[in-house]
Chains A and B, each alone.
Chain A
Amino acid sequence: MTALPPEVPDEPPPFWGRWGRIYLLVAGLLAVETLVFWWLTRWAS
């Protein structure tokens, strides 16, 4: 497991920075899954 960003409890929600990139990765995976499902729907119909 790669090193995780340190916690700074009283800072505003960390949407950006290292965690932001992880969130983008999760959202990107959803986008890729959606595209694969869309391709599968078209291929099989």
Chain B
Amino acid sequence: MGVVTGLAAIDWAVLGATIAAIVGYGAWRTSGVRDADSYVRGEALRWPTIGLGIMATQASAITFLSLPGQAYADGLRFVQFYFGLPLATILICAVFVPVYHRLRVRTAYEYLEHRFDLRVRLLGALLFLIGRGLAAGITIYAPSIILSQILGWPLHTTIWGIGTLVVLYVLLGGSRAVSVTQRQQMIVIMIGLAIAAAIVIARLPDQVSLGGAVRIAGALGRINPVSFHLDFNSRYNFWAGITGGFFLQLSYFGTDQSQVQRYLSGRSVAEMRLGLLFNGIFKVPMQFLILFIGVMVFVFFLFTRPPMHFDAPTLARVEAARPAEVHALEARFDRAFEAQRSAAIAYLTARGRPDEPAVRAQLAASAAEIDRVRGDTKQLIQATLPDAQTRDTDYVFLTFVLQHIPHGLVGLLLAVILCAAMSSVAGELVALGSTTVVDFYLRLRQALGRPPGSRTRDLRASQLAMVAWGVIVLGIASAASLFANLIEAVNILGSLFYGTILGLFVVALFLRRITATPVLFGAIVAELLVVTLFFTSTLGYLWFNVIGCATVVVVASLLHAVLPARPPVSSPGPASG
């Protein structure tokens, strides 16, 4: 098996053919879209397409780049973050889906007008557009910077190359194109993951069985998928996952148009529910598999010398400036690696012997020395290049793919990463465009008393909105280097808006007597409070979801109690064009 450090012709061929086939298939299958309604709704889909689309929208490229690296450094415990997802899915299937289906809404925010009034609908849609628009820019920037660094592609070419492809097929086929291509993309992703898992296990040394690899990983703290220890300072434990994760996933799958649009395109309530439940059942095992691959890569690098720092381009810049110090660290790393490898082999053969605890302690000590060398390397990077990122876990999986996987499969796994980037950005883009057209353009035309536009005109408006959002998102991606930590930036941006939006829907669905004005003021107060807390406090950003939602509910309930009861203001019904 050849060890490669770059892309061969066959990799380019596999990568290009996979992407071209998916985009071409999507364009072909959706070439008949002729009106705005089917463009934004993409209706009549079966549950497998819906389920795979939901998965593909959530699984961005950074998932496949970051999660294995996260497991390499921190083990499997991140999987607990998803424990709230199946429960949130059940609530959405039981409560949200029948309501959306009965009202035949095209966006989640259309429901807010049915339940309250136009003002609340526009506020919900606006909060979504701001939060999702910013986050979509980072969704495309994050994998682009890693791919460009590792593969030597120019950053802006990578961003605009991925973005232009996505805009192209979204422009041609709208929501249906996204659903159709996401199904193919998810199939490529699943095949790629299975191959990656098989290869990393096959490439372990002969004396290391799968069980042995798990035991070594366990001895070094990487097999930790569940902790029932209640610790509010720990982000990932069972209780945080089942409560905080529940709220986060409820908001994301129940009120974020990029997800709601995926199941609104179902041909019946049953198809919508089955699509959602498909994701609810398979999401946790899939995330576990991705993390497990990362743990196996960790075990692989116990026996095959890994880079001292996985972000090779940054380390090369430091080496050019301070060669002697880098070489001294490399020599220390070589010695620590040899000691760790010997200790790992000794641990494998010590099972059940009286000296097993001592051998295990020796293994832990040698791993600690590796960590110290890596820590010193990061300090040297920080001292030499103060603006450089020292976090290198996002580069772990790509380094393994490029250096230890045969040609051809490298192209396939890069296709997996690009598919993930394209599928999530496409889902976000079509949701941004749909919300702009349905909740603002068409609805405000109706509110202003303008006659309904022709089918062609509305379709053109939808396509224009998609392209406009494509340009905005790519512009944000081009400027995204202003954010220090990309993953955190995506989560923070989401948390700034998700709580308030979820609060609107919680009041709408569960507090049936509260009317529009109290909930509108509740949402404004909640958003102001969350933004104020973001700028003035050190509170963990995940709490913003809970605070935003709770504030809407409490303020709306209080205002409802003190404000005089008023008959609902009659307004023209939602746009139907």
Q: Hey, which bits of chain A sit against chain B, CB under 8 A? A: 4-5, 7, 9-10, 13-15, 19, 22-23, 26-27, 29-30, 33-34, 37-38, 40-41, 43-45
Q: Give which listed residue, B87, B101, B228, contacts A38 with CB less than 8 A.
A: B228
Q: Which residue of A lies closest to B84 (CB)?
A: A30
Complexed CA–CA distance, A8 and B191 (Å): 39
Q: Known A41-B225, A44-B214, A44-B217; judge A26-B270 contact (CB<8 A).
A: no
Instruction: Specify which chain A residues have a CB less than 8 angstroms from the CB of B484 in the assembled complex.
Output: none
Q: Known A4-B270, A29-B86; judge A44-B215 contact (CB<8 A).
A: yes
Asked whether, in the complex, the Cβ of B93 is within 8 Å of the Cβ of A23, the reply is yes
Q: Known A19-B94, A26-B90, A37-B79; judge A45-B223 contact (CB<8 A).
A: yes
A7 to chain B, nearest CB (A): 5
Say if the beta carbon of B132 comes within 8 Å of chain A: no
Complexed CA–CA distance, A31 and B102 (Å): 32
Instruction: Specify which chain B residues have a CB less than 8 angstroms from the CB of A40 in the assembled complex.
Output: 214, 223, 225-226
Stretch with Cβ within 8 A of A (4 or more), from B276-284, B333-341, B365-373, B446-454: B276-284
Could you give 24 example pairs across A and B, Cβ below 8 Å? A5-B270, A7-B269, A9-B102, A13-B94, A14-B94, A15-B94, A22-B277, A26-B89, A26-B277, A26-B281, A29-B281, A30-B87, A30-B284, A33-B284, A34-B238, A38-B228, A40-B214, A40-B225, A41-B224, A41-B227, A44-B214, A44-B215, A44-B218, A45-B224
Instruction: Specify which chain B residues have a CB less than 8 angstroms from the CB of A22 in the assembled complex.
Output: 277
Complexed CA–CA distance, A32 and B24 (Å): 41
Instruction: Specify which chain A residues have a CB less than 8 angstroms from the CB of B270 in the assembled complex.
Output: 4-5, 7
Extra inter-chain contacts (19) besides given A44-B214, A45-B224, CB under 8 Å: A4-B270, A7-B269, A9-B101, A9-B102, A9-B269, A13-B95, A15-B94, A19-B94, A19-B273, A23-B93, A33-B284, A33-B288, A34-B238, A37-B79, A38-B226, A38-B228, A40-B214, A43-B218, A44-B223
B residues 239-295 near A (Cβ < 8 Å) are 268-270, 273-274, 277, 280-281, 284-285, 288
Instruction: Specify which chain A residues have a CB less than 8 angstroms from the CB of B102 in the assembled complex.
Output: 9-10
A27 to chain B, nearest CB (A): 7
- Classify the secondary structure of B's interface with A: helix
A41 to chain B, nearest CB (A): 5
Complexed CA–CA distance, A34 and B84 (Å): 12
Contact with A along B32-64 (1 / 0, CB 8 A): 000000000000000000000000000000000
A35 to chain B, nearest CB (A): 9
Asked whether, in the complex, the Cβ of B87 is within 8 Å of the Cβ of A27, the reply is yes
Q: Which residue of A lies closest to B282 (CB)?
A: A29
State the 3 A-B residue pairs at the shortest beta-carbon distance, nearest first.
Answer: A44-B218, A44-B223, A37-B225
Asked whether, in the complex, the Cβ of A41 is within 8 Å of the Cβ of B87, the reply is no
Most chain A CB inside 10 Å of its own CB: which residue of B89, B214, B225: B225
Asked whether, in the complex, the Cβ of B284 is within 8 Å of the Cβ of A9, the reply is no
Instruction: Specify which chain A residues have a CB less than 8 angstroms from the CB of B277 in the assembled complex.
Output: 22, 26
Q: Which residue of A lies closest to B269 (CB)?
A: A7
Q: Known A44-B214, A44-B218; judge A34-B226 contact (CB<8 A).
A: yes
Instruction: Specify which chain B residues have a CB less than 8 angstroms from the CB of A13 in the assembled complex.
Output: 94-95, 98
Complexed CA–CA distance, A30 and B83 (Å): 7
Q: Which residue of B lies closest to A9 (CB)?
A: B102
Instruction: Specify which chain B residues have a CB less than 8 angstroms from the CB of A7 in the assembled complex.
Output: 98, 101, 268-270
Asked whether, in the complex, the Cβ of B226 is within 8 Å of the Cβ of A37, the reply is yes
Instruction: Specify which chain B residues have a CB less than 8 angstroms from the CB of A41 in the assembled complex.
Output: 223-227
Asked whether, in the complex, the Cβ of A9 is within 8 Å of the Cβ of B223, the reply is no
Asked whether, in the complex, the Cβ of B94 is within 8 Å of the Cβ of A27, the reply is no
Q: Which residue of B lies closest to A3 (CB)?
A: B270
Instruction: Specify which chain A residues have a CB less than 8 angstroms from the CB of B95 in the assembled complex.
Output: 13
Complexed CA–CA distance, A44 and B280 (Å): 27
Q: Which residue of B lies closest to A12 (CB)?
A: B98
A22 to chain B, nearest CB (A): 7
Q: Which residue of B lies closest to A30 (CB)?
A: B86
Instruction: Specify which chain B residues have a CB less than 8 angstroms from the CB of A44 in the assembled complex.
Output: 214-215, 217-219, 223
Complexed CA–CA distance, A30 and B226 (Å): 12
Instruction: Specify which chain B residues have a CB less than 8 angstroms from the CB of A30 in the assembled complex.
Output: 83, 86-87, 284
Instruction: Specify which chain B residues have a CB less than 8 angstroms from the CB of A27 in the assembled complex.
Output: 86-87, 90
B residues 124-182 near A (Cβ < 8 Å) are none
Complexed CA–CA distance, A10 and B217 (Å): 53
Most chain B CB inside 10 Å of its own CB: which residue of A19, A30, A43: A30
A44 to chain B, nearest CB (A): 3
Contact with A along B392-421 (1 / 0, CB 8 A): 000000000000000000000000000000
Q: Which residue of B lies closest to A29 (CB)?
A: B281
Complexed CA–CA distance, A29 and B79 (Å): 15
Complexed CA–CA distance, A43 and B211 (Å): 11
A17 to chain B, nearest CB (A): 11
Asked whether, in the complex, the Cβ of B225 is within 8 Å of the Cβ of A26, the reply is no
Complexed CA–CA distance, A19 and B273 (Å): 9
A30 to chain B, nearest CB (A): 5
B290 to chain A, nearest CB (A): 15
Complexed CA–CA distance, A37 and B101 (Å): 37
Instruction: Specify which chain A residues have a CB less than 8 angstroms from the CB of B94 in the assembled complex.
Output: 13-15, 19, 23
Q: Known A9-B98, A40-B225, A45-B223; judge A26-B280 contact (CB<8 A).
A: yes
Instruction: Specify which chain A residues have a CB less than 8 angstroms from the CB of B215 in the assembled complex.
Output: 44
Instruction: Specify which chain B residues have a CB less than 8 angstroms from the CB of A4 in the assembled complex.
Output: 270, 274
B277 to chain A, nearest CB (A): 6
Complexed CA–CA distance, A27 and B268 (Å): 23
Q: Which residue of B lies closest to A7 (CB)?
A: B269
Instruction: Specify which chain A residues have a CB less than 8 angstroms from the CB of B238 in the assembled complex.
Output: 34
Asked whether, in the complex, the Cβ of B268 is within 8 Å of the Cβ of A33, the reply is no
Instruction: Specify which chain A residues have a CB less than 8 angstroms from the CB of B98 in the assembled complex.
Output: 7, 9, 13-14
Complexed CA–CA distance, A38 and B76 (Å): 12
